[in-house]
Chain A
Amino acid sequence: MTSAEIVGMLLAWTPFLAGGFAWNILISLVAMAIGTVLGAVLARLRLSGRKSLARASLVVTELTRNIPTFVFLFYLAFLIPAEFEISGQIHVFPAWLKAALALSVAVVGFVSDNLFVAWQHWRNHSHAAALLFVPSWTMYLLIIVMASSTASVIGVGEIVSRCNIIIAAVGGDETMLWVYAYAIGYFFIFCFPLNWAMGHVKKRLLARVSTASSQKSGE
């Protein structure tokens, strides 16, 4: 295959791959949403002041930290039925939602830990330190976006599955290398600007935190 042919092939399939990547983003956002809500509940319980509740929350957090998402993905794929019936109506349980649920477990642990710290800072009126939660959350979103590629193993039509479809359709031995490399490019283009921006935000916040603490010690 000449390089012109390779570029032509990749361009022809670009909309298809972009559609797949949109699924990755959607799965990741849903996973973040579910994980953030549940994690926030756990963090709140840890701050509730009641020992039994705090301990229970800590145990659950510990539990979510030890569960590998890739294994959990298989767990949900095998154990949640593809269709279920509620009062005579057949509902479909889509595979992408299973993937989002599996990924959200990791988010629960992350949010529970980080929001707990941020909340304490907020209570102590160190707002800048509390706001550090925002860049960490966004960086974690990027980790989840990368992990969302594993949804392909349970048949979600995201970017990696679509790579495999293209490879099967186009054939040829070097196709694999270029299609996979191109897909990696999508992740990089999405993640790099966000990562850079959040690194910047984090630096600004950290600077504010250090000036605030030095002011305090100066008083």
Chain B
Amino acid sequence: MGGGLIFRIACVLAVLAILGGREALADRLDLIQKRGVLIVGVKSDYPPFGMLDANGRLIGFEPDLAAELAHRLGVRLQLVAVSSTNRLQKLEEGAIDVVIATLGDTPQRRRIATLIEPNYYASGVTVVAPPGNRLSSWADLRGKKVCATQGTYFNRPMAQRFLLDLQVFNGTRDTKLALRDGRCVAWLYDDTGIAGILNDPEWANHGTPLPSMMISPWAMAIAASEHGSRLERILSDTIADWHRSGWLLETEQRWDIKPSRFLADAHELWTRVRSDGDPVCTRLASGEWPTECRNKLLLTSTNVVGLYYIGLLIKEQTGLNLTILYDAYDRDLFLSGLWMTLHLMIASIAGSLFVGCLGALAAESGISFLHGFVRLSAAVGRMTPPLLLIYLVFFGIGHIVVTRIGWTFDGSVIATFCLSTYTGCAIVVALLEASTVLKHQEPGFALGWRNLPQVLRLAYASVVTSLVNVVKATSMASVIAVPELVSASTAIVAEQGNPAVMMNVLMITYFLLVMGVVRIFNYIECRMFQHDVR
């Protein structure tokens, strides 16, 4: 009895194994070509990516991709409407061959379906703002009331990265009303969704002033069992060709979609050539695309080598996402920020000393009018918050100069000027105090070019305190978008969502910079005293 049951189970398993084996052998591409039809699942409710026309036909950006694909395979096309919930299930059942339906590329989805690389499009999050808004960067929204729609994946991370005061509403209708009533300055939403909303005449005067963030690439999908098949390879090559030829950019334009940075970047990447004339993105011997042509978010340390490997390994082992170590873009951003900060520091020290010495010399030049004027200016300068001064000069005076004379000044120049003025005023006061002391000691003492070093030496401690303060204050240049360390770090946090790591890196870097400056001044002081002893 028991033996019979085992035998029967064994028979069933054997049959299943044979069927399963035959299924695996039957290539999906053969099936498509035999039936002469490619069945593609697309969205019907996501204009202009996938929607129904007046005759109930499926049209849009993604149906165009499907048509081109069928054309390339030399078969007819059949479109099937799918939803976000059933698209992968229908694929697994075999009811459709390919899914092209706004499917975001994630590691979880890669486990249940075969997602095709390269990605063909990407969505991100941006804001819709009413006409007349003055938004130019995400930092302008810091601390502002921003409307958001409940249930989106990006609300929380965006609020954390940009310190937004989110007003979360139920559903897009409520959010639209809230924005119209001025309850918030902008509405945080999916940029591809916004593309559909802005086609509505009532919303046409609204705009999307900010670049998209949290870019999530979209992938075509085929069944999990098709991994490594000929179909996967053909699809992959087709998308690569589309990126190279710029056909996706044309299709995007044809549907009046705001040009996405993703497609422009992908076109640039896939047409880039090495110094020997070969394209950068050619298949390796293993059949895979090179690392730089793949979706960086989904790579693991097993896919890469070198610094990239170390960085990803640290991330996988400890959770510390040190993108500035392994991501070339972030690393360059951070290093150029560091370079800019060093420039600002040196320029501000020199500028402050210049303003301070010149002011003190003018005050002591013997012209009584100048003396009073410098004293008053120094007092006013010391009581003007440097941040307000930067705003006043950059936006207020800068605007008038541009419109009247046509001159524009670089933000870093303006920041250096303002910080030097503020600190220079403090140095003027310190130098004048020192000169008063010297006057008491040596009757007939008068400050001039010759004895300026003597006065500087006497006022050394307070002058250095002011200079160290201006070094610390250079980070304020970030408020007028000077690409220094703070700007670079907040930009990286915004892109990568790693505030804990980046903020600590920023603090340590600044700490070391300030310490270095203090050390240099101490060294100069030591040398000065040695000189005195001799």
Contacts and interface: CB of A to CB of B under 8 A. Distances in A.
A70 B473 CA distance: 7
A70 B514 CA distance: 13
B510 A68 contact: yes
B37 interface: no
B389 A155 contact: no
A7 interface: no
A160 interface: yes
Nearest to B473: A70
B24 interface: no
B490 interface: yes
B506 A71 contact: yes
A12 interface: no
A156 interface: yes
Interface string B140-182: 0011100000000000000010010100000000000000000
B514 A68 contact: yes
Interface of B is mostly: helix
B483 to A, nearest CB: 15
Given A77-B163, A174-B400, A152 B514 contact: no
Nearest to A178: B396
Q: Which of B132, B486, B518 has the most CB of A within 10 A?
A: B486
Contact of B475 (A71, A78, A174, A192): A71
B385 interface: yes
B16 to A, nearest CB: 52
A57 interface: no
B104 interface: no
B206 interface: no
Given A155-B142, A160-B388, A177-B392, A70 B511 contact: no
Interface residues of A, number: 43
Interface string B466-489: 001001110110010000001001
B380 A188 contact: yes
Interface residues on B, range: 35 or more
B383 A146 contact: yes
B314 interface: no
B75 to A, nearest CB: 53
A78 B143 contact: no
B85 interface: no
Given A75-B506, A174-B400, A155 B384 contact: no
A25 to B, nearest CB: 13
Nearest to A175: B396
Contact of A70 (B379, B472, B493): B472
A192 B383 contact: yes
Interface string B30-68: 000000000000000000000000000000000000000
A188 B384 contact: yes
Contact of B387 (A68, A149, A154): A149
B395 interface: yes
A155 B145 CA distance: 10
Given A150-B476, A173-B403, A71 B392 contact: no
Contacts of B387: 149-150, 152-153, 160
Given A146-B384, A168-B134, A195-B379, 15 more contacts: A67-B472, A71-B472, A71-B475, A71-B506, A72-B507, A74-B486, A75-B503, A79-B500, A147-B385, A152-B387, A155-B163, A176-B395, A177-B399, A188-B383, A191-B383
- Give me the 8 closest cross-chain CB pairs, A-B, nearest first: A155-B143, A177-B396, A68-B472, A146-B385, A180-B392, A149-B385, A78-B499, A191-B383
28 contacts: A65-B468, A66-B511, A68-B472, A71-B472, A71-B507, A74-B489, A78-B499, A79-B499, A79-B503, A147-B385, A152-B387, A154-B142, A154-B143, A155-B163, A155-B165, A174-B400, A177-B392, A177-B397, A177-B400, A180-B388, A180-B392, A180-B396, A183-B388, A187-B383, A188-B383, A188-B384, A192-B383, A195-B379
Interface of A: 65-72, 74-75, 77-79, 95, 142, 146-147, 149-150, 152-156, 160-161, 163, 168, 171, 173-174, 176-178, 180-181, 183-184, 187-188, 191-192, 195
